[in-house]
Structure 1
Amino acid sequence: QLLKFVPIGKETEVNLDSDWPHPSFDGAFLPDNYDVRKDGFNASWKVLDLNRNFPQSWIGTRVGLYESAFGFKLFMPNDHYQQSMRSAKYAILFISLTFMVFFFMETINKKRIHPIQYILVGLTLSIFFVLLLSLSEFIGFNAAYMVGAAATTVQIVIYSSHILSSKKLTVFLMGLLSVMYGFIFTILQLEDTALLVGSIGLFIILSVIMIWSRKVDWYGGVNK
């Protein structure tokens, strides 16, 4: 939804007062003054005929009136479609980190994991994002995220318990997946600080992986 004005007068003044808390100002002119609050916003524009790209009078019809239009859009922050798309952007990173953990477990546990098993785990992680989008249309984003995360975590943990044959590693994997899902969920709830929190979190995760990988002898197993 959007509302725009065309400054056809010598001096065009517009004053808006709305109870919509998330405006997105758009067009050829930004407001001279505006105040955005939790319960709404107000904004004012003042456009002179000298600032627009068409004259006060003309002959013919080929005049770009709408090129000088200004106004605002009703922005919907973090609806379930936008949140689902944002979460999908983390898919490659999420799957890569999970594969890396499986590789470390394979090296430490000295139990080979077949590429097909990696693919099955990757498909499960991918299906999470499909579940998230489809379920969020009926039960809301937060509930859909919890259901999808729980379902895929349980599926991967049960499958991995037979692959790894180690309760300790299985519990570790379950905790790690829970932390990763929780981390992404936290980022998705943020608006202004999402990039900052996400970059710091990824830096910490990479640091932990680097510290943990120091114990691995890549040619012979685990350093004692």
Structure 2
Amino acid sequence: SIGITNEGGKVDINTTSELILRNLLLNLGLNLDDVDIIVDSVMDWKDSDDLHRLHGVEDDYYMSLPNPYKAKNANFETLEELLLVKGMTPEILYGADGKKGIIDFLTVNSKMTNININAAPKEVLSAIPGITPELAEAIITIREAQEIQDVQGILGDNYSLASPYIGLAGTNAFTIESAGYKGTEKTGYTIRATVIPEGTNKFKYLYYKSPVDITI
């Protein structure tokens, strides 16, 4: 089995607003206190100063850990780097007990501030102000028949709330998830790769990992 997703439909951790990241974490079931710590700490991790936000941390916290390190004060290069940030856990990042992890909805490769409404999954759409879970489902149903062009017509009165965070532009980066199974076995060989097409049958790899936990 194989699945292909456009990175433009995900939340770019390097360009996202705090609001979108906060909504995404809340929608995944985290409590508000944990969300406040994670969001502020993510923003502190990638900003260039040593001033921490209300719930965030900088070098003084990380250097006090048993295995000390400094805040990066630069953009994330991989999503796994989030595990270095205060408040983030493997369970939150990768998922646990049948729940999806936030890694499924994040990227470092779209390089866009706006989310492509034609590529975003329900969880990402629902994190956008003005888009309820019900409206997110309606958007997905509409675009299955035809790619959305008139965003304002679809969102109606909610357009003004959502418009700063959405767009129709895509990206040339795609994530491919593939799983191969032998016979009736339920476990198999799995890979996740993010690539940019470069000519006929040529790709530039931005990310590759195997094995991975994936659902296709």
Higher relative contact order (CA 8 A, sep 6+): 2
Q: TM-score, normalised by structure 2?
A: 0.28
More helix by share: 1
**Over alpha carbons, which structure has the higher Rg?**
1
